[in-house]
């Protein structure tokens, strides 16, 4: 890094400006709310009992949340959701990016088409999936009965596993465009000569992919996995729109309960405690990824 | 040659499947939007819009007129969300906020990432990591203090509040994304250019900027879409037409006692158009092979 330092030595001013901008945009705006939230997670903040607000309760909120009826269950649901959705999203995105990177006819139009699901507001795409799988008027029921796969209309969204699968399909459908764009941009940045050299050296399609393309994409792969996990941990809108956490809380993830504590039970102390538990889980997951998939260092 | 042709055939087949998978829900949305709400409430929709009606789109752009007509003809109006009238304005608000957020992110994030990547001083990685990890806090944990700050600064229901908050939630990731784009771009190019007597400005312009351009496109697309579709903060920080964004209006429609499905589908289609235009513009700047001829170790 010596040369890098030499290049930038006299640009200390710019560094200072950038760090100042960073502090203003990120740290001040985030540090204070986080500190506030952390402080209040140790205090009573139940809006239905206003006379208790602000009372110091030590770890009561945390204990209440951990010993609640939903905690373990929602952890399992969250883990299930992440295990199903994250690898599939990243896999679909990777496959699509590799395909869209081919320079063949009409790839440009298909690139735009592939981005469409991302441009629909989540409320609309969630509702759309809900109607398609509706028990009375759903088009999926209509087509399946016409094809005589099923004999009569099924209320898909009252069955636990079908609901989970529908949410996952909708989730992957709405989430794959971002990782796809990132993969695609990184692929476009790939030095073409190493790829060409490998073709001349006679590397097969698979080994070319495994050793060259995948190595080149590794930082973005890690980024996508971590980011997808983070947003899957924080998912709320889609579950709320499609199933409201039902049937029998089978699709209520831990973040869904965070919102329920805040906006349905109005116990903000507990919601904040749950947020910090979620934060710690997130940190653990990021740490795990960093350990399991070592960050590629080229230098 | 044969293998190559078969390969292209497989690629086209896969394209077709993907296009189908992407299209079926979107097609269903278009189909829904072209039927009347009464039909939707009475029975299952036909698979194709044989007799399409554009009433839903008209309702969004001329809400008062359509309501008037329906009242005069004695038709039911209870399921029609009058808030739809705010949608064109909401799209304008969303575009102003999202484009500002996009510009701030794409101007600053790749540069900050480059500095984090190239200059290692004591604690630089800690600063970088702590910036990125702020994103792990669930939004619900920070909405109360943010609301209080915005209220204190008298910024509620303004573009500025939304731009600040959306920048705040996208910026860490923008840095992270661009940081990863510089990963694997060897510092040797910059060194060589430095040895060759390029000035710092020239190094920046001729070597860093092309690489950054890809990062900028990625960051722009990302931050635009996050800001355009963000709901929770937008919902809490806006109260009137002065700053309400598209997701807020559409969620308000969904909160109608009878969910107006066909009108929501039409609103979804209208909401899709601005991001598509932005993507078509951005896509033109993704160019292949920027760093060819460089040894990557």
Mean pLDDT for the stretch of residues B41-57? 73
Asked if A136 reaches chain B (Cβ–Cβ under 8 Å), the answer is yes
Name the band, by pLDDT with cuts 50, 70 and 90, for residue B289: very low
Encode pLDDT of B169-187 as tens digits.
Answer: 888 888 888 887 777 666 7
In a domain, A34, yes or no: no
Encode pLDDT of A162-214 as tens digits.
Answer: 888 888 888 988 888 888 888 888 887 777 677 677 777 776 766 777 777 77
What's the CA angle centered on A172, arms A170 and A178, to 5 degrees? Answer: 125
**Closest chain A CA to residue B219:** A182
CATH architecture of B86-283: Orthogonal Bundle (1.10)
Asked if A181 reaches chain B (Cβ–Cβ under 8 Å), the answer is yes
Please report residues of B whose CB lies closer than 8 A to that of A120: 26, 29, 268, 271-272
Q: How close, in Å, is residue A160 to chain B by CA atoms?
A: 22
Q: How close, in Å, is residue B49 to chain A by CA atoms?
A: 14
Return the residue in B126, B129, B140 with the most chain A beta carbons within 10 A, the one to mutate for interface testing.
B140
**Sole residue written with tokens 């909120």:** A61
* Helical ranges in B153-296 per DSSP H: 159-182, 187-195, 200-203, 209-229, 232-237, 246-254, 261-283
Mean pLDDT for the stretch of residues B5-12? 76
Please answer whether residues A269 and A225 qualify as being in contact, where contact means their C-beta atoms are separated by less than 8 angstroms: no
Confidence (pTM): 0.82
Most confident of A159-163, B69-73, B208-212: A159-163
Q: Higher-confidence residue: A104 or B167?
A: B167
Using the beta-carbon criterion (under 8 Å), do A1 and B180 form an inter-chain contact? no
Domain encompassing residue A286? 61-292
> What's the confidence (pLDDT) of residue B97?
92
ipTM: 0.78
Alpha carbon distance B228, B250 (integer Å): 13
- With 0-12 / 13-18 / 19 or more C-beta atoms within 10 angstroms meaning exposed / middle / buried, residue B147 is middle
Q: What is the CATH number of the domain that holds A83?
A: 1.10.3720.10
Q: Higher-confidence residue: B275 or A294?
A: B275
In a domain, A77, yes or no: yes
Q: How close, in Å, is residue A139 to chain B by CA atoms?
A: 8
Q: DSSP labels for A255-285?
A: HHHHHHHHHTS-BHHHHHHHHHHHHHHHHHH
Name the band, by pLDDT with cuts 50, 70 and 90, for residue B101: very high
User: Number of C-alpha atoms within 13 angstroms, CB side, residue B95?
Assistant: 15
Please report residues of A whose CB lies closer than 8 A to that of B223: none
Work out how many domains chain A is built from and give that number. Answer: 1
- Kindly give the parts of chain A with pLDDT less than 70: 1-16, 18-27, 47, 52-53, 104-107, 192, 195, 203, 205-206, 293-299
> What's the confidence (pLDDT) of residue B287?
54
**Sole residue written with tokens 């981005």:** A115
Local structure of B167: helix, strand or coil: helix
Return the residue in A42, A121, A169, A294 with the most chain B beta carbons within 10 A, the one to mutate for interface testing.
A121
Encode pLDDT of B32-45 as tens digits.
Answer: 888 777 677 666 67
Using the beta-carbon criterion (under 8 Å), do B118 and A108 form an inter-chain contact? no
Q: State the span(s) of chain B assigned CATH 1.10.3720.10.
A: 86-283
Alpha carbon distance A280, A291 (integer Å): 16
Encode pLDDT of B212-255 as tens digits.
Answer: 777 788 888 889 988 888 888 888 888 888 888 888 888 888 77
User: How much is the mean pLDDT over chain B?
Assistant: 78
pLDDT for residue B152 is more than 70: yes
In a domain, A226, yes or no: yes
């Amino acid at each position: 890094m010596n040369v890098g330092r030499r290049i930038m030595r006299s640009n200390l001013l710019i560094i200072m400006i950038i760090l100042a901008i960073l502090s203003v945009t990120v740290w001040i705006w985030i540090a204070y709310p986080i500190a506030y939230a952390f402080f209040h997670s140790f205090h009573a903040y139940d809006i239905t009992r206003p006379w208790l607000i602000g009372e110091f309760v030590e770890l009561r909120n945390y204990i209440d949340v951990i010993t609640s009826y939903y905690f373990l269950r929602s952890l399992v649901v969250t883990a299930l959701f992440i295990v199903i959705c994250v690898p599939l999203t990243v896999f679909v995105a990777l496959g699509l990016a590799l395909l869209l990177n081919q320079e063949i006819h009409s790839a440009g139009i298909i690139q735009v088409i592939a981005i469409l699901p991302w441009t629909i507001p989540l409320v609309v795409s969630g509702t759309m999936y809900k109607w398609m799988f509706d028990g009375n008027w759903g088009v999926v029921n209509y087509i399946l009965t016409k094809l005589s796969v099923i004999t009569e209309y099924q209320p898909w969204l009252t069955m636990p596993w079908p609901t989970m699968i529908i949410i996952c399909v909708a989730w992957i459908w709405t989430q794959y465009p971002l990782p796809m764009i990132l993969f695609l941009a990184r692929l476009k940045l790939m030095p073409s000569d190493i790829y060409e050299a490998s073709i001349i050296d006679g590397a097969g399609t698979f080994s070319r992919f495994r050793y060259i393309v995948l190595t080149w994409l590794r930082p973005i792969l890690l980024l996508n996995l971590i980011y997808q996990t983070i947003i899957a941990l924080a998912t709320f809108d889609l579950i709320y729109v499609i199933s409201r956490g039902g049937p029998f809380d089978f699709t209520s993830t831990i973040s869904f309960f965070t919102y329920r504590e805040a906006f349905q039970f109005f116990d903000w102390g507990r919601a904040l405690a749950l947020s910090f538990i979620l934060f710690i889980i997130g940190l653990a997951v990021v740490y795990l990824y960093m350990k399991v998939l070592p960050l590629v260092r080229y230098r | 040659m044969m293998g190559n042709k078969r390969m292209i055939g497989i690629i086209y087949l896969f394209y077709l499947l993907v296009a189908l998978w992407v299209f079926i829900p979107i097609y269903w949305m278009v189909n829904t939007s072209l039927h009347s709400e009464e039909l939707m409430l009475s029975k299952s929709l036909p698979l194709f819009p044989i007799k399409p009606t554009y009433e839903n789109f008209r309702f969004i752009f001329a809400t008062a007129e359509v309501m008037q007509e329906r009242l005069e003809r004695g038709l039911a109006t209870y399921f029609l969300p009058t808030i739809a009238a705010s949608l064109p304005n909401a799209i304008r608000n969303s575009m102003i906020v999202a484009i500002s957020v996009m510009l701030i992110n794409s101007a600053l994030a790749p540069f900050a990432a480059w500095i984090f990547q190239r200059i290692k001083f004591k604690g630089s990685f800690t600063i970088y990591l702590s910036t990125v990890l702020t994103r792990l806090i669930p939004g619900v944990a920070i909405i109360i203090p943010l609301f209080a700050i915005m209220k204190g600064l008298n910024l509620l229901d303004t573009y500025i509040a939304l731009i600040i908050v959306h920048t705040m939630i996208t910026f860490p990731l923008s840095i992270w994304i661009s940081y990863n784009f510089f990963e694997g771009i060897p510092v040797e190019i910059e060194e060589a250019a430095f040895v060759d007597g390029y000035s710092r400005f020239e190094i920046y312009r001729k070597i860093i900027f092309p690489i950054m351009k890809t990062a900028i496109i990625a960051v722009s697309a990302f931050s635009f879409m996050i800001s355009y579709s963000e709901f929770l903060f937008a919902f809490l920080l806006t109260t009137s037409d002065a700053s309400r964004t598209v997701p807020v209006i559409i969620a308000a429609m969904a909160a109608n006692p009878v969910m107006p499905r066909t009108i929501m589908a039409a609103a979804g289609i209208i909401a899709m158009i601005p991001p598509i235009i932005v993507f078509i513009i951005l896509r033109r700047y993704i160019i292949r092979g920027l760093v060819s001829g460089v040894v990557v170790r």
